[in-house]
Amino acid sequence: MDDKPVDKEKILKELSEFHKLDYDYSDGRILGSMCTEAHPFAKEVYFKFLDTNLGDPGLFKGTKLIECEVIKSIGELLSIDNPYGHIVTGGTEANLMAIRAARNHARKYKGIIDGEIIVPESAHFSFKKAADMLNLKIVEAELDENYKTDVESVKKLISDKTVAIVAIAGTTELGLVDPIDEISKIALENNIYFHVDAAFGGFSIPFLRKIGFDLPVFDFSLPGVCSITVDPHKMGLAPIPAGGILFRKEEYLEVMAVDSPYLTVKTQSTIVGTRLGASSAATYAIMKYFGKEGYCNIIRNLMDNTIFFKEELEKLGYEVICEPELNIVAFNHPSIETNELAEKLGARGWKVSVAKCPVAIRIVLMNHIKLNHLKELLEDLKEIF
């Protein structure tokens, strides 16, 4: 730290030098991120609420009401009238809360001490962090030939130590939706907590279904589903950080509650103490601003781009891994090794990411990637071919 105060102009200049090293969403070169540039209106609102702290909701009663409204609105999208939950920092924290709720619930009501969670191979690595922090063992369910959770594998892995089953609505690597209705039945039959990670798909599948896309039900209308992660800062176009965790019953929050003596509330169930109210306010604003109609238009456009890109890739001779269900296309060159192809694209300024299961280039067609960017990318892919 400097000994003396530094002039604002100088600080801003220094910061902008750092900022210049960052990629900018508007260049259309960030091709592997599940985040995107937040809408300017959401950013404006975010700034207004920067000082609010939802960790102490008695001091910020209005902002707390906003959070409740946001959870209710997201709940409506996920077929539940009275959800319980919070706006948190992202999918990782949301998944951690869900698994913590499941573990504590199983400990309290079933006496399970050394628990296990059944998580598909395709799950986001946040579950590894959750298992590590919560002292749980991960048992990995296999994928079927379509890269979706194999239901038989889940059944086989259930034991008297299972505290939760996880399935994904919009996998990180391929954007696929698991057979959540079948897994919900299994979870119910075995009286096991079932969490759906819809961090990516939660803000698009409901709208895609509305405009006629043939996607399966993944939400609270399935009786086995106990909690859902859905991230406003991914497909919701809210500013980072904004994750969402919704629970079917209040008791899942209650089993995580600890006393919070010096605050305006007696207990706290969230992992984080001091918590941004700005994320809730910005999410509230952007959900109102777009409405269902706005989100339907955005996702329709993204799916048009996805299908265009996939078809053009095939025309060039690239091998597309699977039919896209959401706005992700994964592909390989018939002979160039995947990491080498990623390097070649990187050398041309494209920031692609490589999926692990199966190994493939993975392009997430977020809102900052426009048709002209895709055409430029296809030109480069044609030259590389």
Ligand X SMILES: Cc1ncc(COP(=O)(O)O)c(C=O)c1O
The residue among 353, 375, 357 whose CA lies nearest residue 34 is: 353
**Only segment of 61-69, 98-106, 192-200, 284-292 that touches ligand X (CB under 6 A):** 192-200
Distance between CA atoms of residues 102 and 134, nearest Å? 11
| Shortest separation between residue 172's beta carbon and ligand X, angstroms | 3
**Least separation, in Å, of the C-beta of 124 and ligand X?**
4
Residue 27 — φ and ψ, nearest 5°?
-70, -15
- Site for ligand X contains 168 (CB under 6 A): yes
Q: Which of 179, 202, 236, 243 binds ligand X (CB under 6 A)?
A: 243
Q: Considering the complex, state which of residue 182 and residue 231 has its C-beta at the smaller distance from ligand X.
A: 231
Q: How far is the CB of 151 from ligand X (least distance, A)?
A: 19
Structure tokens at 186: 């299994």
Could you give the string, one character per residue 110-129, with x where binding to ligand X holds by CB under 6 A and - elsewhere? --------------x-x---
The DSSP bridge pattern shows strands 137-141 and 267-268 to be unpaired
Q: Say whether residue 36 binds ligand X (CB under 6 A).
A: no
3-state secondary structure of 60: coil
What is the residue whose two structure tokens read 């985040």?
Answer: 35
Q: Could you give the residue ranges of the DSSP H alpha helices within the chain?
A: 8-20, 40-48, 61-77, 91-110, 126-134, 151-157, 180-189, 205-210, 251-254, 278-316, 338-347, 371-384
- Of 55, 57, 75, 90, which lies in the binding site for ligand X, with binding defined by CB under 6 A? 90
By CB under 6 A, residue 200 contacts ligand X: yes
Which one, 127 or 318, has the nearer CB to ligand X?
127
Q: How far is the CB of 225 from ligand X (least distance, A)?
A: 16
Number of residues in contact with ligand X, rule: CB under 6 A? 14
Q: How far apart, in whole angstroms, are the C-alpha atoms of residue 77 and residue 17?
A: 42
Instruction: Kindly state the tokens that stand for 212.
Output: 């006629």
Question: Mapping DSSP to helix (H, G, I), strand (E, B) and coil, where does residue 46 land?
Answer: helix
Report the half-sphere exposure of 79 (CA within 13 A, side-chain side): 13
What residues from 138 to 167 belong to the interface with ligand X (CB under 6 A)? none
**Scanning residues 297 to 356, which ones bind ligand X (CB under 6 A)?**
none
In angstroms, give the least distance from the CB of 170 to ligand X: 6
- For position 175 contacting ligand X by CB under 6 A, the verdict is no
Tokens 């961090």 map to which residue? 199
| Token reading at 59 | 């001091």
Choose which of 149, 172, 268, 305 interacts with ligand X (CB under 6 A). Answer: 172
Task: Quote the DSSP letter at residue 142.
Answer: P
Q: Which of 67, 116, 150, 231 binds ligand X (CB under 6 A)?
A: 231
Of the candidates 199, 235, 329, 374, which one interacts with ligand X according to CB under 6 A? 199
> Nearest approach, Cβ of 61 to ligand X (angstroms)?
28
The rounded distance, in Å, linking the Cα atoms of 74 and 246 is 8
Q: State the minimum distance, in angstroms, from the CB of residue 121 to ligand X.
A: 13
178 binds ligand X per the rule CB under 6 A: no
**Residue 375 CB coordination number (10 Å):** 12
Which residues are at the interface with ligand X (CB under 6 A)? 34, 90-92, 95, 124, 126, 168, 172, 197, 199-200, 231, 243
